[in-house]
Amino acid sequence: MPPVVDEFLQAVRAEDRERMKLLLHPYLHWGRRDGTTLRGRRKVLAMLQEMGVPDRPAAVELRDGQIYRWETI
């Protein structure tokens, strides 16, 4: 996994919303276990606020050094 994944998970644990925002691409695609996909950084940040620290991704794609696609196991 790229180091940005660990940085992001640390930011989530620390509840550092500004750092999380910097690590996520604005047009993020977040694949969830139930097969649905959330699109957009704001929607993903709102989801994470409710659910807490996510599991490590099965796959991740980066764009411009930010997490662009996150696929949950």
For position 8, which CATH number holds?
A: 3.10.450.50
Enclosing domain of residue 24? 3-72
Residues 21, 45 contacting (CB under 8 angstroms): yes
Task: Kindly state the percentage of the chain with pLDDT values over 70.
Answer: 100
pLDDT at 73: 78
Residue type, 52: G
How far, in whole angstroms, is CA 32 from its chain's centroid? 11
Split into its structural domains, the chain has a count of 1
Residue type, 14: A
Convert the pLDDT of each residue in 29-62 to its tens digit.
999 999 999 999 999 999 999 988 999 999 999 9
Residue 10: pLDDT band by 50, 70, 90 thresholds?
very high
